Chain A
Amino acid sequence: SQQGEEDPQALSIQEGENATMNCSYKTSINNLQWYRQNSGRGLVHLILIRSNEREKHSGRLRVTLDTSKKSSSLLITASRAADTASYFCATVVMNRDDKIIFGKGTRLHILP
């Protein structure tokens, strides 16, 4: 089973709508990060939320973390065509800072 699992696996929404992606994990973590990957490219860091934080904002991004449920969500508001990409959560396992584990990702497609 995966340390980080995103759902849904794929999401298509109309431009201008909000997109919500979820991530669940299994072990205690130091922090959780979200990355974006455009097709065939490297991953780009979006936002980091620490285990003692519950919510964080960055521009149109809003991340929540619920450590009791071992889950996080990424909300992209007012989506744009350029937001079309795969989104991955990555967890830094507590006391295992040397191993950052990625999930399978959510493929987001913004329809014009």
Chain B
Amino acid sequence: EPEVTQTPSHQVTQMGQEVILRCVPISNHLYFYWYRQILGQKVEFLVSFYNNEISEKSEIFDDQFSVERPDGSNFTLKIRSTKLEDSAMYFCASSEIWGDEKLFFGSGTQLSVL
């Protein structure tokens, strides 16, 4: 079965450093999402992306965050200057159809900001 892959599985960084989280969505999917989950808490929407543009973003997704689809396969989330409170599990997801179809999630990147 096709799957969404995320790398790395764990990322440790110093506060103030830039991190890039990488995702390879399922190849025929057109809609991409980033979510995050602080340990044991709710899964929070960050951003949705379609046709090389951000479609929707949450209040969490401030100027420190950016997303990019640099080529035909990768979808990245960049945090420019990490804060302690950015520590969380970050999930990438993709879907074939806008909102009316299930999301396929990757296994996540656990980001630890020290």
Residues in A lying within 8 Å of B, measured CB to CB: 2, 30-31, 33, 35, 37, 40-45, 48, 88, 90, 92, 96-105
CB contacts between A and B, total, < 8 Å: 66
Asked whether A30 and B105 contact (CB < 8 A) given A42-B91, A99-B48, A102-B43, the answer is no
Asked whether A102 and B42 contact (CB < 8 A) given A30-B100, A43-B91, A97-B100, the answer is yes
B105 lies within 8 A of A104 (CB): no
Asked whether A98 and B105 contact (CB < 8 A) given A30-B100, A104-B42, A105-B42, the answer is no
A44 lies within 8 A of B99 (CB): no
Given contacts A31-B99, A35-B105, A43-B103, 10 further A-B contacts (CB under 8 A): A40-B89, A43-B43, A44-B105, A96-B56, A98-B50, A98-B99, A100-B45, A102-B35, A102-B43, A105-B43
> Size range of the interface on B?
20 to 34
B100 lies within 8 A of A92 (CB): yes
The 8 A CB mask of B34-66 against A (1 = contact, 0 = none) is 010000011111001010000110100000000
The chain B residue with its CB closest to the CB of A41 is B107
The distance in angstroms between the C-alpha atoms of A44 and B108, with both chains bound, is 12
The contact sample of 25 A-B pairs, CB cut-off 8 A, is: A2-B42, A30-B99, A31-B100, A35-B103, A40-B108, A41-B107, A42-B107, A42-B108, A43-B105, A45-B103, A97-B100, A98-B31, A98-B48, A98-B50, A98-B55, A98-B56, A98-B98, A99-B56, A100-B103, A102-B43, A102-B44, A103-B42, A104-B41, A105-B42, A105-B43
The distance in angstroms between the C-alpha atoms of A98 and B30, with both chains bound, is 12
The chain B residue with its CB closest to the CB of A43 is B105
B56 lies within 8 A of A88 (CB): no
Most buried by B among A44, A92, A100, A103: A100
The distance in angstroms between the C-alpha atoms of A102 and B56, with both chains bound, is 15
State the Cβ distance, B106 to closest chain A Cβ, in Å.
5
Q: Which of chain A's residues have a CB closer than 8 A to the CB of B35?
A: 102
Q: Which of chain A's residues have a CB closer than 8 A to the CB of B33?
A: 100
The chain B residue with its CB closest to the CB of A94 is B99
